[in-house]
């Protein structure tokens, strides 16, 4: 039985279809789907060469998906070697420590896609010292943007050494596009100062492609962010013509297969301008694919739930998401 994702929104099924359906119990399906997903990630983030160099054999470990993610992450990590600008190691240390704490706590609340925290409760208060000055380790992304209408408060409970006056908000599900107001052609997370926090951010994002972490994430949060994103991008995308093979003009931006495409040109220099700022075409495509990937994995996981073992089923039963709990009950009744 294919689970009905419409609980999360009318367009969620179509979104999941964009990433393609697959059968979690089929090793070939899993390999094909995850490899395609990683290829898309690698193309978008510039490590396709490193990813192409990794073996393509079907993983034989108990957890094929974790193995495929590990391979993708290894390729990503290799691409970071030597490519990161020399920047503040102190900032990276603070970022890494903050990400560890944020993700650990978010896993318990089921809100890993977007993490929100009082920065003064994070290691070093999410501040680092450079040139004798105390600086914020992350961008204060609290204005209205493509992922939400803003997070102006509550203000930090303690005084911030580096001037935090708002919560820290990071959209880790779409890493490296972690900020709602900065959807430029290169994800801001890729410009974090050293590979440590970059890798940590990426690990969190792709963990949601693993059934266990996917079920831990409250899909209602993802759906709400997606709805907001679509609400603010759909009017912009509607102005872009559909791509028609054989009739496309060089250099022109088109819609193709639910994503943006530039014919005979670079997607990295294209974008959409709207009231909430410019969104780069590369950012748009990557973000849509991340949402699509999440719900495709959710669908495949729900379908395969009876075979996924007691621990995963227990996770689903204990979820804050009522739809997910209902699915588990139906599986139990059917079983």
Partner 1 sequence: MSRSLWLTLGATLGVGGAVFLAGRRASAASPTQGSSPGSTADLPPIDLAPLPQVSDVSGDLQKNWGDTPLDLRPLFQLMAEVGKIPGAGRLFAVFAVRESKFVTTAHNGNATGEQDERDSSRAAYRNQKDQNPPLKYGEQAAEFGSGGLFGLLAPYFLWTGVPEVGSKAPLLNAPPQLVFQPRAAAFGALVYMQRLLTRYQIDDHADLKAGWANPSLLKGDRGSAKYHEVRARFLDDAKALGIDLNDTSTIPGKLDASAWPGVPAVFKALVGALPKEIA
DSSP state of 50: H
Structure tokens at 203: 């690990």
**CB-neighbour burial class of residue 7 (10 A; exposed 0-12, middle 13-18, buried 19+):** middle
CB-CB contact of 72 with 202 (8 Å): no
Among 97, 267, 308, 312, the residue binding partner 1 under the rule CB under 8 A is 267
Neighbouring CB atoms inside 10 A of 274's CB total 15
Calpha distance 189→175 (Å, rounded)? 7
**Binding segment for partner 1 among 15-23, 129-137, 216-224, 263-271 (CB under 8 A)?**
263-271
Among 38, 50, 295, 315, the residue binding partner 1 under the rule CB under 8 A is 50
- Nearest approach in angstroms of CB 54 to partner 1 is 14
- Cβ closer to partner 1: 62 or 273? 273
Calpha distance 147→126 (Å, rounded)? 22
Among 56, 60, 108, 264, the residue binding partner 1 under the rule CB under 8 A is 264
Among 64, 186, 258, 330, the residue binding partner 1 under the rule CB under 8 A is 186
- Which of 146, 201, 144, 196 minimizes the C-alpha distance to 176? 201
Q: What is the dihedral of CA 189, 253, 245, 52, to 10 degrees?
A: -20
- Nearest approach in angstroms of CB 286 to partner 1 is 11
- Cβ closer to partner 1: 63 or 249? 249
- Nearest approach in angstroms of CB 49 to partner 1 is 6
Calpha distance 177→23 (Å, rounded)? 29
Among 2, 6, 26, 49, the residue binding partner 1 under the rule CB under 8 A is 49
Calpha distance 234→193 (Å, rounded)? 33
- Nearest approach in angstroms of CB 312 to partner 1 is 36
- 56 touches partner 1 (CB under 8 A): no
Among 4, 23, 149, 249, the residue binding partner 1 under the rule CB under 8 A is 249
**Binding segment for partner 1 among 54-62, 147-155, 267-275, 322-330 (CB under 8 A)?**
267-275
- Cβ closer to partner 1: 48 or 144? 48
Structure tokens at 61: 């470990």
Calpha distance 88→331 (Å, rounded)? 51
Among 20, 150, 258, 265, the residue binding partner 1 under the rule CB under 8 A is 265
**Binding segment for partner 1 among 42-50, 63-71, 86-94, 226-234 (CB under 8 A)?**
42-50
- Nearest approach in angstroms of CB 35 to partner 1 is 14
Calpha distance 180→75 (Å, rounded)? 27
**Binding segment for partner 1 among 29-37, 47-55, 60-68, 130-138 (CB under 8 A)?**
47-55
Give the helix, strand, coil percentages of the chain, each rounded to 5: 55, 10, 40
Ramachandran class of 59: left when φ > 0, alpha when ψ lies in -120 to 50, beta otherwise:
beta
- Cβ closer to partner 1: 203 or 282? 282
Binding to partner 1 (CB under 8 A) within 269-298 occurs at 269, 282
- Cβ closer to partner 1: 224 or 248? 248
Compute CA distances 185 → 36, 44, 75, 177, whole Å: 22, 10, 21, 9
Among 27, 83, 152, 163, the residue binding partner 1 under the rule CB under 8 A is 83
Q: What is the binding site for partner 1 (CB under 8 A)?
A: 43-50, 52, 79, 82-83, 185-186, 246-252, 264-269, 282
């Amino acid at each position: 039985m294919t689970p009905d994702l419409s609980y999360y929104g009318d367009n969620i099924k179509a979104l999941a279809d964009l990433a393609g359906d697959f059968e979690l119990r089929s090793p070939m399906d899993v390999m094909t789907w995850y490899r395609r997903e990683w290829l898309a990630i690698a193309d978008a983030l510039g490590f396709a060469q490193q990813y192409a160099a990794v073996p393509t054999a079907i993983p034989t470990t108990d957890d094929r998906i974790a193995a495929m993610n590990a391979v993708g992450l290894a390729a990503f990590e290799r691409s970071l070697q030597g490519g990161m600008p020399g920047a503040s190691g102190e900032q990276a240390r603070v970022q890494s420590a903050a990400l560890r704490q944020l993700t650990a706590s978010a896993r318990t609340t089921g809100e890993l896609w977007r993490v929100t925290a009082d920065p003064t409760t994070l290691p070093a208060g999410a501040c680092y010292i450079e040139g004798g000055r105390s600086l914020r380790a992350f961008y204060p992304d609290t204005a209205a943007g493509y992922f939400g209408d803003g997070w102006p408060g509550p203000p930090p409970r303690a005084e911030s050494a580096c001037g935090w006056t708002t919560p820290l908000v990071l959209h880790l599900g779409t890493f490296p596009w972690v900020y709602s107001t900065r959807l430029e052609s290169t994800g801001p997370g890729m410009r974090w100062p050293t590979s440590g926090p970059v890798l940590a951010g990426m690990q969190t994002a792709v963990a949601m492609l693993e059934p266990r972490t996917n079920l831990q994430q409250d899909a209602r949060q993802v759906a709400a962010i997606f709805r907001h994103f679509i609400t603010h991008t759909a009017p912009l995308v509607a102005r872009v013509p559909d791509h028609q093979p054989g009739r496309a003009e060089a250099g022109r931006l088109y819609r193709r297969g639910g994503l943006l495409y530039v014919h005979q040109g670079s997607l990295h220099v294209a974008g959409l301008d709207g009231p909430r700022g410019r969104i780069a075409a590369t950012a748009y495509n990557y973000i849509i694919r991340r949402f699509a990937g999440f719900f495709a994995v959710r669908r495949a996981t729900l379908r395969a739930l009876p075979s996924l073992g007691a621990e995963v089923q227990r996770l689903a039963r204990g979820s804050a998401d009522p739809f997910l709990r209902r699915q588990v009950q139906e599986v139990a009744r059917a079983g």
